[in-house]
Structure 1
Amino acid sequence: MSETPNQDEFYKKLKTQLLDTTLWPSEYLYKFIVKTNPTEIKKIEGLFNNIGAVISTKVSKNGKYTSISINVRMKNPDNVIAKYKEVAEKVEGVISL
């Protein structure tokens, strides 16, 4: 998947904010929303396996969507952004918050 100019600009801005506001390595909280589909939820969880992530999920009131919160220690902003890109590439219809 090629990045659009908006995505590229978003990641540049995020990296700057993370460098300015956080001492690295640091805990980082990822939040994603997907349609409630066990396969897609497992894909996201699998991308964070074996790196010490604490993962929690919550199904929406009507059961259509699931929010996934992942708290994990990351080395630097580049690693944070790489995970966002990996999730976007491998999980269909994911919304990153």
Structure 2
Amino acid sequence: MKEKENTEEFYKKLEGQLYDTASWPSEYLYKFIVKTENNQMPKISSIFDNTGAVIKNIESKNGKYTSVSIRVIMKDPEAVITKYKEVAEKVEGVISL
């Protein structure tokens, strides 16, 4: 239960920071890291289907991990957080940066 509280607290803080630092709608850069062998990149891409997102994948030097960068116009901080939560829920082992 404590982890869920910490996560919600993190998202609440992020929402405030996003409102303070940008005017909305605005371009937002998501960054995720996933294990390459689990082939999770298509799952992340599908979450951003039909949003006009530009997605860039970069494999680590040893090929163990893949960095996924996504640039997309989001309407407000709540929409940003909704996508973070959706990725966390649907993509196993993802690290959000």
Hey, which bits of structure 1, 4+ residues long, moved more than 4 A?
A: none
How many percent of aligned residue pairs carry the same amino acid? 67
Distance in 1, matches of 2:35 and 2:19, equals 32
Q: What TM-score results when the alignment is normalised by the length of structure 1?
A: 0.94
Q: What TM-score results when the alignment is normalised by the length of structure 2?
A: 0.94
Query: What residue in structure 2 maps to residue 77 of structure 1?
Result: 77
Gaps of 5+ in 1: none
Q: How does 1:3-22 map to 2 (within 5 A)?
A: 4-22=4-22
Shift of 1:49: 1.1
Distance in 1, matches of 2:39 and 2:61, equals 20
Distance in 2, matches of 1:49 and 1:37, equals 22
Q: How does 1:1-97 map to 2 (within 5 A)?
A: 4-37=4-37, 39-97=39-97
Gaps of 5+ in 2: none
Taking only aligned residues, the RMSD between alpha carbons, in angstroms, comes to 1.1
Give the SS at the match of 1:4. helix
